[in-house]
Structure 1
Amino acid sequence: MSARLSSVEEITHQAYDIFLQLAPENLSEQDIQQFNEHHGEYGFIEDSEPDDDWQQFVSLEIEPEHFIQVIIGIEYEDGDEVFARILISRDMDAPFCHVLWKQEKAQLEQ
């Protein structure tokens, strides 16, 4: 039996809703203010196949056709500011979501 998969558009909207719900607990007040101020004009939501580095953050097998990576940020002239990178399952019968927040990324790079 094949998996029942949400469309990329549906799951991208779901990832954005999760971002909006969890951002106050995971981003600084300054980041939230910056996002709220600029997302209408410069904000972006990009979906793609999951990057290979997700395997170091999650313990399940990431099948590219069942998962999508969603990146949420602000695009500036001098570069992008990414607030969250989300791995989310498209499989309606196996929901899964993991978010890497801006602060976590900075901590991992130290």
Structure 2
Amino acid sequence: MLLKTEDELIDFAYDAFLEDAQTQLSPADQILFAMQFEDLGAVDIVDLGSDWPASVAMGVNDDEYCELHIGLVDDKDLLSDIFGRVLVKKKANDKFIHILWKTE
């Protein structure tokens, strides 16, 4: 099975995030993200959260899925303000994606 590379996973998640950010994030978070992402933004691949099955109503495992966080880093270079948790399939050409958006 051909899998997406880390760069492809990041690009896919970020592009999908940007497509819906204006309708899913609050106006304040949209402004914050737009003004600070260039300097403080990050898209990180993280360990798969155990709460995904409740959100997507199906089994989720490390072999098939990848979780990414999109947000801003703090002064210690840690992702502290997460605007979206993104679940994607690792398989190349699979367009599955689910985003849990930041809520206030």
Q: TM-score range by the shorter chain?
A: 0.7 to 0.9
Contact map agreement 1:88 1:96 (CA 8 A) in 2: yes
Question: Helix, strand or coil for the counterpart of 1:52?
Answer: coil
Amino acid in the other structure paired with 1:63: N
The residue number in structure 2 matching 1:20 is 18
Query: TM-score, length-normalised on structure 1?
Result: 0.82
Amino acid in the other structure paired with 1:99: I
The alpha carbon displacement at 1:53 in A equals 1.3
Moved more, 63-72 or 76-85: 76-85
Percent identity reads 25
The residue number in structure 1 matching 2:56 is 58
Segments of structure 1 that go 5 or more residues without pairing to the other structure are: none
User: Within 1, Cα distance between the matches of 2:94 and 2:27?
Assistant: 33
CA RMSD of aligned residues (A): 1.8
**Segments of 4+ in structure 1 off by > 6 A?**
none
Amino acid in the other structure paired with 1:102: K
Q: Indicate the structure (1 or 2) with the bigger Cα radius of gyration.
A: 1
Contact map agreement 1:8 1:68 (CA 8 A) in 2: no
Q: Count residues with an aligned counterpart.
A: 102
Residue by residue over 1:27-76, the C-alpha shift from the partner in whole angstroms, topping out at 9 and shown as x without a partner, is 01111110111111111111023111112111222121221101001123
Contact map agreement 1:70 1:87 (CA 8 A) in 2: yes
Judging by fraction of residues, say which structure has more helix: 1
